[in-house]
A and B are shown apart, each in its own frame.
Chain A
Amino acid sequence: MATSNPSVFLLSVNGQIEGANFPCYDDLYCKYCFVYGQDWMPTTGLEEGITQITCKGRQSQKLIWNFPLDITFKSTNPSGWPQLVLSVYGPDVFGNDVVRGYGAIHIPLTPGKHKRTLPMFVPEPTWRLQKFTSWLWGRRPEYTDPKVVAQGEGREVTRVCSQGFVTVIFNIIMKDMKKLGYDSGPSTSSNAQPCGTASGWSTEEQTNL
């Protein structure tokens, strides 16, 4: 039903959380969720998910999850563009599950296939002894909500330390963005070059004889 005058545009996100590269950790799993603005609504698909626990192979240093993402949003306003928020967890020396990384990324704005690498980070304990006890008890500092990594407010009070990388592949399809007047970049408008004056130059004269 292709209405000529749509009131919403659709953003379909497929892809997968491919894997991660955490040099020091193993047996990790990943949890994802989407954070989006008020004008957005998921129409179909899972908003949250949790992957299997995966461990590194003998040779490979990469953790592979291959966890599919499939979600479609509808929206009226590009403000609050959805973000994918990942948080990675894994057991520490004592077997406690502790957080190994948080990361967030905007869903790519252009249709097509995108491969993104998310740098991950975790909040740091406020002081040394806490660092020790948190290690001992296996309760690292965590964000109250993983979604805070998708927003800028209040981040200045935290200190974080980088941990590793997660690779995500997005396949983006959009509908009706152009019809609503939003141009999301080159891949949609590659064919429609604005036609300007073809002539290379310049001053031309009219001869009145």
Chain B
Amino acid sequence: MASPGASAIRDKLRKQRRTLQETFVKLKHEGDDEQALVPSSGLSEESQHSTMNETQSSEDDPGETLKRTLRAQRQMRRKKLLEKLSAQNSPVEDIEEIPSVPLHSEDEGTGKISKVPSLTSLASKAPKSRASQQSDRFVTRRLEEKLKAARSQGESLRLQEASVVAAGRRRDRPKVTRSDREVDSDADSSQFLPQAASTRVKFRGPTEPVERNRVTADEAYNFFTINFEVQPEEKTSKKSRKSSKERKREEAQVQEEEDEERSQDPSQDHDEDEPLVQDEDGNVFVLEQTSKDFLEVKSAEYIGLRAFAVRHRPLIFTPSSRTVPTSAKLPENMTPRYLEDEGLYVGERLTVSPSNENILENRILRMEEGAKWFGDDGRIISLPDPIKESSSRPPLFHMEDDLDPALQTFYMKPLQSKHTNLSICAADAVLGDYQLDVDVSGLIFSHHPLFSREHVLASRLAQLYDQYLNRQRNNLTEHLTDKLNGLRNTMRNMLEIHSEQNLSQALQQRIVEYSMEVKNTRELRDGEQEKDRTLLKSLVKVWKELKALREHQRFINTPYKLFLRRETVDRESDEREYEKDILSEVWELEAEAEVDYQTKLSEYKKQLDEWKAWRKKQKSKKKKRKKKAQDETEEDDQEASEPEGPPDEGPSKPDTPEKLELDTIVKQVREKAARIRRKPGEAILIPELTASGNVSEGELCPRGEVARRHEVARRFIFVKILYNDKEVSQTNSFPLNPDFRVHFGQIFNLRIVNCPRSITLQVFEDLGSLYTMLAEVYVPVPPSSVLAGNSSIEEFEFSSNQREMFDHEGVGSGVPLSFTGDASDNVILLTSGKLSCCVSWGVGEDNVPLAPPLSQHPGAHHGGQYDAVSPLAPSGNVKKIGEWAMQSRLDPNDPVNASVMQMLKVASSGQVSAPDFFRLEQLQEEFNFASDEELARSRRFRLLALRSQEVPEFRNYKYVPSREREVSEKVFQGYEKRLKEGEMIDTKEHLDFHRALVAKYLQKIREAVIHRFLLASHHFLLSDMVIEEEMPCFGGARLRRVPDRHLRDSTEFLEMRSPKLLKMTGRAEMLNGAGPGILGLNLFHLAEPKRPLRPQRKERKKVTAQNLSDGDIKLLVNILRAYDIPVRRSQGGKAGPSPQGAIQGSDWLVNHVQVRPFVEVSFQRNVFQTTTADGPNPCWNEELQLPFRAPNDDYSVASLQSVKDEVFINIFDEVVREMGARENGESPQTRVEKHWLGSVKIPFSTIYSQSRIEGTFKVKTPAVLLGYSKERSQPNAGVYESVHSLCQGAFITLFITIEPLLQPGESIREKIKELKFDSQEDERLLQAAERFERAAAEGFPGRPCATTAVDLNGKTVFITRYIRPLNPPPEIMSDQPQEDAIQVARFVSLIPSLPDKVSFSGICDLWSTCDQFLMLLAGDEEEHAVLLCNYFLFLGKKAWLIIGTAVPEGLSAYVLTLEQGRYLIWNPSSGQYYGQYDTFCPLQAVGCLVNADNVWLNIQEHVSPMRISFDVSRGVGWRPFFNRFFTHPGLSSVQPEELVYRGSDKTAAVELQERMEKLLRDKVMEWRPQRPTRWNRYCSSALKHFLPSLEQCAVALGSGAHDLAEGHRHELENLLGDNRISGFPLHMAFSEMGPIVEAVHSTGVHTIQTSNVEFALAVYVHPYPNNVLSVWVYLASLVRS
């Protein structure tokens, strides 16, 4: 029952599969498009069911009991079904064995069930992707198994089915093994190859129908229903699998019970995470189940790496990197041959790593004909390493030494037209510098085709005769004979003299030499004699032949005749001579033979000895061998005999030398003498050739000869002259003479420009119509010393290989010619001849040789062979090259080194001197665009040069004129003056020597600093170039700088496109203020709208200086209102009843016009004014635009910062005076006068650095204002009264800015800061200071904080070092401490103020110490404040330095004192003091406080002095720099211990006073050019009296000022009677004259137009210690009424 049960289950599965298949097939018919949808719809039912099941199961799982009941049910049903089906299924069993069903059906099923979207593709791809499917199936199966394993534990039904399982197992066994094998084989080689799968599919194909046929609809239905109940899984297909699995599970369990497979089960359970493919167990299960498994979750196609490798193994060849044995690389039976060992040159091989080489060799060996790549030595053939060992560029020695004179550059004008162009116009005589004269004088043919036989002989004769003549001329024979005799005599003498004594070694040596010489000479003489003799013989012979020919032909063609003159000799003496000669020769020869014999004999003896020794040895050897042979019997016989066979090639027995017999010598000598010498007594024959003979006339000659002569007559000869292979000329044609000579006699003058390379003469023969070139003659180019006068005509031989034959007597040329009939003496004669010509250099009219200089000769150049070496000859020292060659061991056989070797060879022979220098850029000088002098002379170039050097005067010079003449000399005047006066001190300008010195000193510092700045401005940092977001800090906030950056951005559109920037960064700041800015918080800003509909107003654009030009910049001055302006006081009874009386009569509360003020703003001498308002508290609300002009038109930041101009804001009272007679009833003439009331001065640099100035400023009013009084208690003054009570004086509210907004120079300052000044401070302190400042800047933006300052030496100094009690000058001290304070403040304020920004172009803040400050007498607020603070400390006050911002100075320093529980704020530059709650205190914000011990940062909410507490002792509100953790290290002060003052110099003051008075008087007159300026001396002297009292008064707390004014007025009124007087004293600190003049000018006193005006001027200079001067100028105008 069991086995049918199992088969039933299987059957069930099969059915299920089949039904699925059917449904699919059915669906497939419906159309491809729907397929994707079909599965879901088709399976919806199933899936519904399954989900139901799932829910059920999930519910069941917890309840163990429920599950059991269900399972029991399930088992029951299954059993029933199995029973039912068993009968039918039995035949199918064998099919069942097949592990896999047809693949496509399986795939379809799984495809459907798993709802893989592309069914069709799956189906088609199925075979291929089987492998992956399998692996996937493993996974799912594994999971299921696990599930089941857990569930089925303790399942009771297990035992019931045990038998079934056993049966199944039995059946399974073979299957398992089979699949095992299959898997193994798969894994081995082609495990997952699609082919394998597909074959299997094919194989199984036929079984499919069988299966299909079995399935009925009922079965399918049953199957499904059963499954639904049974399966707790969610997927239908899994049911089937599960059932099978269940079964298997049971099997496994049984196995577990039974035997060794026990261990597999747990491993399966735990194995799910491990890779499944390798798992043997898994495979077993898998393969078993593949046939029944419908589910297939398919992954992407993947071929395993190993499989891939296996598949590609046949295609891929990986050469091994092992060394290939040499034998493999060479043809068989060949031993490697190493060329190096054989001494051949083999270049050095390239270095290749051995592994690479091995790989390459292996690869090559695999190739066909691989062997051809290997050389004889078994290595790959390769070219030698092309890289040279050393670089070919020579090093330059002696760079720093002076240039070798040989290396000096000479500038040569480029000779373009002559030597580069290679062409001239010959007609232009000027160009023809050189002249070559070619003289073609004539031509002689030594052979010509038209020669007759006689001619041939004659020419031969002539040649021989020529030869004879030549020899005769040289007379070598004679010469040698003489020499020989001489030698013999000396030798004989020598022997005779020294015969007795033994000859010394040297003498013997000499004798040997002599005898050698004699021998040589004798041999030479013998040769010459022989030649002479043969020549003579041949001469005679040819002449005989000629004579014979003439006789034979019976006519004479040539005029030659040879006479032989006989010269008889004295026979006896001749014979004697002859014999003597022979004897001496014999004797000599004998001696020589003797010597020869001796040497030979010794040689022979030596050889004989050798031979004998050898023989001996041989014999002994033989003996030995014989012994041996006896010992070793016959087998060695052969061997023993063998060496005997070829006898050792020992020296053969030498022949004994034979001694030459005297007889033979004598015989030889005599024979020779007979052969080569005239016989003794024979007459000397002297041949003489003459051309005196007659040539036979034509009619006497045979026809052939006549034809020949005709032919000759027809020929013409001319010569072409070729210069550098170009034909330049030709001679006229000359007829060929019968004697074959042509005379040209022409001279050609060649005017040449290019180097002569060759001169060629071409000989042409003119045959009437056709020319033939006979020959070319190359004439050497003469050296330049060869001139027309001294040259001689030379003969140049030529010949032609032309072949010509005639039928007449002409012998032709190139054809064999014989004189005898049997052609035994055949000769072939070629046309040849001699051309006589002469080439020389011409001589000019003035005897100047027209020859090129030597260097232009091609021959003068060094040979080309050095070219290769010349770069190797850096110093030109050939020796060095030799050494180098030795050192580097150059291979002499290497062709690469050939040039070096040749060079060395030549060099060692000492013929060569290479150039001993090498140079680069020899053209540099030529590239200079103008000479230095020219550049210096030209004003324009100078201007350009100065501008590019950034000389201040010209740095921004625009539009340098294009023409020289437009640059006026004036341009340089200022510059030159500055240069000239660099050291001179101009006292005129400064009125004071000390101050002049100081000014110079300051100027120098300024220049130094500016220079530094200029250097820095060319040094760019990334932040100078690129605006970039700061790195967001996650904890700390560094976003603060962002707004600056963006505000500073000069581009307009940036503003336009991101209007939210300000707002946003503002918030960032706020966040930072509140706490650390966090990246996360900043992210919220992203949510903000990028382009808000209503963008907020933001700052105007700032303009970079580049675009600016004159008139672009305007100063906007907005004058809002003023308070407390002095009012007119009724001037007694006279001025009182003014025309305003009418108005005043109406409904004015006050019975006179108080004041009608208006404001005049003057800047750079441009004056603008507002309208006139009324009353002491006027309101104008007007905007004035003042043009601004930068110095030198330089709108750069640095320049703008150093603008020293000040803006004067003057308040005037407009007074309308009536003129003329009212009585006449005419319209009254009025005159407007303006009376100065007070002024505010604001330096431009302040405006520039602040970019806007807004606030209420105290108007500086003169101490005494004649005709005006302060309205002290006005009832309707309103709210201001209470405020004003504390302070006196008028105030004005202003708003000043620059249009357009200029970029302040802050960035530069920052940069300088980054550049870091060095310091002597402790590094730790500096770091702490930096931290402190940074913390302040981040936590409290806008609060200035200073912990360090830079002193005049450029060193960073901690700020507290500046604070130290210092003694004020004793003169100003009194006994009252309160008064002392004011005195001291006044003294400090009298020291002129000069902002550092002005002096140092705003580059940095330099803090000078107090003594330096007093010495320089100039400094900005910090110095004043420090000095004041130190004085206060000395006075025993509690004083601090306030670093804060003030109007208008901006960043500034004030002094804070604590007096009687009240804080007073002192303005050090004005000497004014304010209470803490003073509204008009110019100090706007307090950043930090400094004293000698500590620095406190203001960390209170507010910055305004009114709203903060100054109590630093309380921990709240002030953050100290030094605290418990970082204590004060006890910094010593940089200040001196005590200040030493020079006493006040009264005389100098008086002198200055006078000069100043005079200057001002002149200036006032100068300002009034149209009108006369009258000075009222009386009034002036009166005023002069007032001034000292004013000074006193100012010192005395100004309490009596009012009374003083009254007193003055009264006094003046008394003095001047009915003059209307208006005037005021001006007070200022003295620095220079300029500011005083400017101040006087700005009051506008001089502008008064009345004709009857008189002026009064008084100057008072009050001297204080240390040359501090207080200047008073009393200016008044008097109008006579």
Q: Does B1031 contact A (CB under 8 A)?
A: yes
Whether the Cβ atoms of B1029 and A137 lie closer than 8 Å is yes
Whether the Cβ atoms of A134 and B723 lie closer than 8 Å is no
Whether the Cβ atoms of A205 and B1106 lie closer than 8 Å is no
**Interface residue from A96, A158, A197 paired with B1022 (Cβ < 8 Å):** A158
Chain B residue nearest to A155 (CB atoms) is B1025
Q: Does B1027 contact A (CB under 8 A)?
A: yes
Whether the Cβ atoms of A204 and B425 lie closer than 8 Å is yes
Residues of A within 8 A of B423 (CB): 197, 199-203
How far apart sit A72 and B1104, CA to CA, in the bound complex (Å)? 22
Q: Does A183 contact B (CB under 8 A)?
A: no
With A7-B963, A38-B956, A129-B1031 known as contacts, the answer to whether A154 contacts B1053 (CB < 8 A) is: no
Q: Does A27 contact B (CB under 8 A)?
A: no
Residues of A within 8 A of B1106 (CB): 147
Residues of B within 8 A of A116 (CB): none
Whether the Cβ atoms of A208 and B724 lie closer than 8 Å is no
Whether the Cβ atoms of B960 and A39 lie closer than 8 Å is yes
Q: Does B525 contact A (CB under 8 A)?
A: no
- Most chain A CB within 10 A, of B721, B957, B1051, is at B1051
**Interface residue from B729, B957, B960, B962 paired with A205 (Cβ < 8 Å):** B729
How far apart sit A204 and B269, CA to CA, in the bound complex (Å)? 112
Contact stretch, chosen from B172-180, B741-749, B1415-1423: B741-749
Whether the Cβ atoms of A201 and B422 lie closer than 8 Å is yes
Give residues of chain B (707-766) contacting chain A, Cβ–Cβ below 8 Å.
Answer: 721, 723-724, 726, 728-729, 746-754
Q: Does B1049 contact A (CB under 8 A)?
A: yes
Chain A residue nearest to B427 (CB atoms) is A204
Residues of B within 8 A of A8 (CB): 959, 962
Whether the Cβ atoms of A180 and B962 lie closer than 8 Å is yes
How far apart sit A75 and B961, CA to CA, in the bound complex (Å)? 9
How far apart sit A200 and B1024, CA to CA, in the bound complex (Å)? 61
Chain A residue nearest to B1106 (CB atoms) is A147
Residues of A within 8 A of B299 (CB): none
Q: Does B679 contact A (CB under 8 A)?
A: no
Residues of A within 8 A of B312 (CB): none
How far apart sit A97 and B1048, CA to CA, in the bound complex (Å)? 18
Residues of B within 8 A of A130 (CB): 1028-1029, 1031
Binary contact track A46-80/B, C-beta < 8 Å → 1, others 0: 01001000000000000000000000000111010
Chain A residue nearest to B721 (CB atoms) is A205
Residues of A within 8 A of B427 (CB): 204
A contacts with B, residue count (CB < 8 A): 59
Q: Does A175 contact B (CB under 8 A)?
A: no
Q: Does B421 contact A (CB under 8 A)?
A: yes
Whether the Cβ atoms of B425 and A197 lie closer than 8 Å is yes
Whether the Cβ atoms of A97 and B723 lie closer than 8 Å is no
How far apart sit A148 and B1020, CA to CA, in the bound complex (Å)? 11
Whether the Cβ atoms of A205 and B749 lie closer than 8 Å is yes
Whether the Cβ atoms of B1086 and A94 lie closer than 8 Å is yes
Chain A residue nearest to B752 (CB atoms) is A203
Q: Does B1219 contact A (CB under 8 A)?
A: no
Q: Does A161 contact B (CB under 8 A)?
A: no
Residues of A within 8 A of B1051 (CB): 31, 145-146
Q: Does B1091 contact A (CB under 8 A)?
A: yes
Q: Does B1222 contact A (CB under 8 A)?
A: no
Q: Does B1021 contact A (CB under 8 A)?
A: yes
Chain B residue nearest to A50 (CB atoms) is B1053
Residues of A within 8 A of B1086 (CB): 94, 136-137
Whether the Cβ atoms of B726 and A95 lie closer than 8 Å is no
**Interface residue from B424, B746, B1082 paired with A202 (Cβ < 8 Å):** B424
Closest beta carbon of chain A to B781's beta carbon, Å: 13
Q: Does B1090 contact A (CB under 8 A)?
A: yes
Whether the Cβ atoms of B1029 and A205 lie closer than 8 Å is no
Q: Does B1050 contact A (CB under 8 A)?
A: yes
Whether the Cβ atoms of B1029 and A143 lie closer than 8 Å is no
Whether the Cβ atoms of B1026 and A96 lie closer than 8 Å is no
**Interface residue from B421, B424, B721, B1104 paired with A145 (Cβ < 8 Å):** B1104
Whether the Cβ atoms of B422 and A77 lie closer than 8 Å is no
Q: Does B958 contact A (CB under 8 A)?
A: yes
Binary contact track B208-237/A, C-beta < 8 Å → 1, others 0: 000000000000000000000000000000
Whether the Cβ atoms of B723 and A31 lie closer than 8 Å is no
Residues of B within 8 A of A142 (CB): 1026-1028, 1049
Whether the Cβ atoms of A39 and B958 lie closer than 8 Å is yes
Whether the Cβ atoms of A126 and B966 lie closer than 8 Å is no
Chain B residue nearest to A156 (CB atoms) is B1020
How far apart sit A21 and B52, CA to CA, in the bound complex (Å)? 62
Residues of A within 8 A of B1018 (CB): 153-154
Whether the Cβ atoms of A7 and B962 lie closer than 8 Å is yes
Q: Does B947 contact A (CB under 8 A)?
A: yes
Q: Does B1057 contact A (CB under 8 A)?
A: yes
Chain B residue nearest to A37 (CB atoms) is B958
How far apart sit A16 and B1216, CA to CA, in the bound complex (Å)? 63
Give residues of chain B (785-808) contacting chain A, Cβ–Cβ below 8 Å.
Answer: none
Whether the Cβ atoms of B1024 and A144 lie closer than 8 Å is yes
Whether the Cβ atoms of A207 and B729 lie closer than 8 Å is yes
Whether the Cβ atoms of A96 and B962 lie closer than 8 Å is no
How far apart sit A159 and B1549, CA to CA, in the bound complex (Å)? 64
Chain B residue nearest to A154 (CB atoms) is B1020
How far apart sit A89 and B1058, CA to CA, in the bound complex (Å)? 12
Q: Does B359 contact A (CB under 8 A)?
A: no
Chain B residue nearest to A148 (CB atoms) is B1025
Closest beta carbon of chain A to B1279's beta carbon, Å: 48
**Interface residue from A141, A148, A153, A208 paired with B1028 (Cβ < 8 Å):** A141
Q: Does B1032 contact A (CB under 8 A)?
A: yes
Residues of B within 8 A of A134 (CB): 1028-1029
Chain A residue nearest to B957 (CB atoms) is A38
Residues of B within 8 A of A145 (CB): 1050-1051, 1104
Q: Does A157 contact B (CB under 8 A)?
A: yes
Q: Does A209 contact B (CB under 8 A)?
A: yes
How far apart sit A156 and B1022, CA to CA, in the bound complex (Å)? 9
With A96-B1058, A130-B1028, A148-B1025 known as contacts, the answer to whether A203 contacts B1020 (CB < 8 A) is: no
Q: Does B1009 contact A (CB under 8 A)?
A: no
Give residues of chain B (1022-1056) contacting chain A, Cβ–Cβ below 8 Å.
Answer: 1022, 1024-1029, 1031-1032, 1048-1051, 1053
Residues of A within 8 A of B944 (CB): 77, 79
Q: Does B854 contact A (CB under 8 A)?
A: no
**Interface residue from B963, B1027, B1053 paired with A144 (Cβ < 8 Å):** B1027
How far apart sit A9 and B432, CA to CA, in the bound complex (Å)? 44
Whether the Cβ atoms of B960 and A76 lie closer than 8 Å is yes
Whether the Cβ atoms of B962 and A97 lie closer than 8 Å is no
How far apart sit A39 and B944, CA to CA, in the bound complex (Å)? 10
Q: Does B426 contact A (CB under 8 A)?
A: yes
Closest beta carbon of chain A to B963's beta carbon, Å: 6
Whether the Cβ atoms of A123 and B1025 lie closer than 8 Å is yes
Binary contact track A157-173/B, C-beta < 8 Å → 1, others 0: 11000000000000000
Whether the Cβ atoms of A7 and B961 lie closer than 8 Å is yes
Give residues of chain A (178-209) contacting chain B, Cβ–Cβ below 8 Å.
Answer: 180, 196-197, 199-209
Whether the Cβ atoms of B1025 and A205 lie closer than 8 Å is no
Q: Does A125 contact B (CB under 8 A)?
A: yes
Whether the Cβ atoms of A38 and B958 lie closer than 8 Å is yes
Whether the Cβ atoms of B1029 and A141 lie closer than 8 Å is yes
Residues of B within 8 A of A44 (CB): none
Counting from the closest, the 9 A-B pairs by CB-CB distance are: A204-B426, A154-B1020, A76-B962, A97-B1057, A141-B1028, A95-B1090, A205-B728, A205-B750, A123-B1026
Q: B residues engaging A (CB < 8 A)?
A: 417, 421-427, 432, 721, 723-724, 726, 728-729, 746-754, 944, 947, 956-963, 966, 1018, 1020-1022, 1024-1029, 1031-1032, 1048-1051, 1053, 1057-1058, 1079, 1082-1083, 1085-1086, 1090-1091, 1104, 1106-1107
Q: A residues engaging B (CB < 8 A)?
A: 5, 7-9, 31, 38-39, 41, 47, 50, 75-77, 79, 89, 94-97, 123, 125-127, 129-130, 133-134, 136-139, 141-148, 153-158, 180, 196-197, 199-209
- Subset of 9 A-B contacts with CB under 8 Å: A94-B1086, A123-B1026, A136-B1086, A139-B1029, A145-B1051, A197-B424, A203-B726, A203-B728, A205-B721
